[in-house]
Amino acid sequence: MARIYAVGVGPGDPELLTRKAERILRQADVILAPVSRSGEVSVALETSREFLDAGRQQIIIHQFPMTSDMGRLIPAWQEAAALMAGHADAGREVAFITIGDPLLYSTFIYLLRIFRTSYPHLEIEIVPGISSINTAAAAAGVALAEADERLAIIPATAGMDAIIEAVAKFETVVLLKVKPLYADILEMLRQMGRQQSTLFVERVGSDRQKVLSDLSEMAAHKPDYLSLMIVKKR
């Protein structure tokens, strides 16, 4: 029986993979890359491509639908877990690759729960990755937190009430997945006087990276799914 790895490959820049992540990707027998819809390009796979050997390794693209419908999500998670478990039981090392970090808003969190309950005999190793949050702060040259400041990470899917509460309470708020509520968030920032202390970062670490600090430029921009905002009190 071989091991299953969850490998964080960072935000999209191959140079931001850790040395451990690269080593595991090169040695694994099976690579499983997630996508949210059929035919979609896996950002995690494209980030890792130079470290893989398609002639030796089996590369599997597995679809995890982007939905809140548990009737669709749970079977997708179970299918992926069973697939990886089957390879591991056959003696093949499996690497599940994910952008950012495997335990920060990652699909692997749900797979890990399945492994622990349904496949407790499997050995799982999690390889942390650099998150888009750290990379965005570096690209923008802004501190996430210092001294006694507090940092909150809020997915925009939590809703405007949660976002407004966090912006009012915390010195720094990172808003993830801002696309669905983009216009509402911009209006909130105007009303709360955060026009001069907000940064928008999109596709950080890739050749499509964009960093905006002017609210009017943000308003004129159509955001990508892989975008976030860093909102400071000052």
In the block, tokens 């029986």 appear at: 1
Pairing state of beta strands 4-8 and 94-98? parallel
CA gap 49, 47 in Å, rounded: 6
pLDDT in tens, 122-134: 999 999 999 999 9
pLDDT of residue 161: 97
pLDDT less than 50: residues of the chain: none
Kindly list the distances between the CA atom of residue 54 and the CA atoms of 17, 28, 30, 151, in Å, as whole numbers in the listed order: 19, 11, 10, 41
Residue 1 is predicted with a pLDDT of 65
Q: DSSP for 173-200, please give it.
A: EEEES-GGGHHHHHHHHHHTT-TTSEEE
Which residue, 151, 100, 154, 152, is CA-closest to 126? 100
Predicted local confidence at residue 234, as pLDDT: 74
**Distance set, CA 155 to CA 34, 135, 147, 164, 180 (Å):** 20, 17, 25, 12, 10
Give the integer Cα–Cα distance in Å for 213 and 232.
Answer: 12
Contact 61, 33 (CB under 8 A): yes
Asked if 57 contacts 29 with a C-beta cutoff of 8 angstroms, the reply is yes
Exposure string (b/e) for 181-217, b if CB count within 10 Å is 16 or more? bbeebbebbeeeebeebbbbbbbbbbeebbebbebee
Between CA 233 and CA 192 the distance in angstroms is 10
Q: Report the run of H or E that residue 139 belongs to, with start and end.
A: helix 132-140
**4-127: which CATH number, 3.30.2040.10, 3.40.1010.10, 3.40.50.150, 2.40.50.140?**
3.40.1010.10
Domain range annotation of the chain: 4-127, 132-232
132-232 fold: 3.30.950
For the chain, give the number of residues: 234
Token match 């191959």: residue? Answer: 14
